[in-house]
Amino acid sequence: MLKVGIDIGGTKIAGGVVDAEGRIVEKVRVDTPTDTGALAQAVIDMARHFRAGHDVAAVGVAAAGFIDRDRAIVIHAPNIAWRNEPLKARLEDGIQLPVAIENDANAAGWAEYRFGAGQGVDHMVMLTMGTGVGGAIILDGELFRGGHGIAAELGHMRFIRGGLLCGCGQSGCLEQYASGRALQREAHDIADAGGIGEALAALRAETGTISGPAVSRLVLAGDPGATEALRRVATALGEACGGFQAVLDPELFVIGGGVAQLGEDLLAPVRLAYETSLPGYGDRPVAQFAIAQLVNDAGLIGAADLASAEG
């Protein structure tokens, strides 16, 4: 059975036709319109396009924001002016297929569980280290959505009491310490400090900034300043995983997002911080850590897989 998955990102809408094994049969990308009406229409147009060429049973749509328990209404979105928007009804009107809306981090986590790094376990937590820190929780083989549909906001667990301000209105959220953007901030701080930050400072002098991929390249080249920056965000992530273990007791943590492309260079300090932060370490089963496998396609694959022909 083929289903369509559409992932509404900040700059691009990525859509695909996905089969029952999570393989993408056809895939397209368009720019994300800023107007909400045009955005909905772009999603409808994309779904119709796929429907014209394939025998599609349902459509899943992933978007950042709070989605209600029935996967029908966007309660609040950080980047789009939707407030209690009945998106499912609107899209079903236009597409004439059953539609399910899903939080994008949830969709990505589900895809990893079904077809990626999380295959074979029942209890999994996914953390996506991108601009922010996204989270998804798989419990007993099911995606956990919470009492109002908006659980698993793992990046907004408080990491430091009285800490850095976050876009969510709070302070000290994990994503201020463990995201790709945090990696850049640490790199700038170390560049300012001179000493081991010389390579970072030189890069900034040349390019005007320090991008996340540039930090990653320097880590792979063994630069001590970039390695220190990575160690700081990896330590924050690993410590937070110690707390998530206490609450959720997963068998596996899957780490995704741009920073995760560093692989074992990232996982080694994450594991160390996790192990030195885990309550009852030595007296309890612990979780494994893995890097996400589906990368940029995870959102659309997961959205498609979560959609149902029954609506």
Please, are residues 127 and 256 in contact by the beta-carbon 8 Å criterion?
Answer: yes
The pair of three-digit structure tokens given for residue 88, joined into one six-digit string? 């499912």
Residues 205-224 interacting with a second copy (rule: CB under 8 A): none
Query: Of 120, 147, 208, 222, which one interacts with a second copy (CB under 8 A)?
Result: 147
Task: Quickly tell me which residue has 């922010």 as its tokens.
Answer: 132
Query: Of 148, 207, 221, 263, which one interacts with a second copy (CB under 8 A)?
Result: 148
Number of residues that bind a second copy (CB under 8 A): 72
State in angstroms the smallest separation of the CB of 252 from a second copy.
Answer: 8
Binding mask 228-257 for a second copy (x = CB under 8 A): x----------x--xxx-xxxxxx------
Residues 59-118 interacting with a second copy (rule: CB under 8 A): 66, 75-76, 83
The answer to the question of residue 204 lying near a second copy (CB under 8 A) is no
Instruction: Classify 153 as helix, strand or coil.
Output: coil
Query: Of 48, 172, 198, 220, which one interacts with a second copy (CB under 8 A)?
Result: 172
Please, are residues 71 and 88 in contact by the beta-carbon 8 Å criterion?
Answer: yes
Please, are residues 17 and 50 in contact by the beta-carbon 8 Å criterion?
Answer: yes
The answer to the question of residue 284 lying near a second copy (CB under 8 A) is yes
The answer to the question of residue 153 lying near a second copy (CB under 8 A) is yes
Stretch of 112-120, 184-192, 198-206, 292-300 contacting a second copy, by CB under 8 A: 184-192
Please, are residues 95 and 57 in contact by the beta-carbon 8 Å criterion?
Answer: no
Q: Which of 253, 260, 244 minimizes the C-alpha distance to 287?
A: 253
Query: Of 287, 291, 292, 306, which one interacts with a second copy (CB under 8 A)?
Result: 287
Q: Which is nearer to a second copy, 94 or 172 (CB)?
A: 172
Give the Cα separation of 22 and 43 in Å (integer). 20
Please, are residues 108 and 304 in contact by the beta-carbon 8 Å criterion?
Answer: no
Please, are residues 242 and 278 in contact by the beta-carbon 8 Å criterion?
Answer: yes
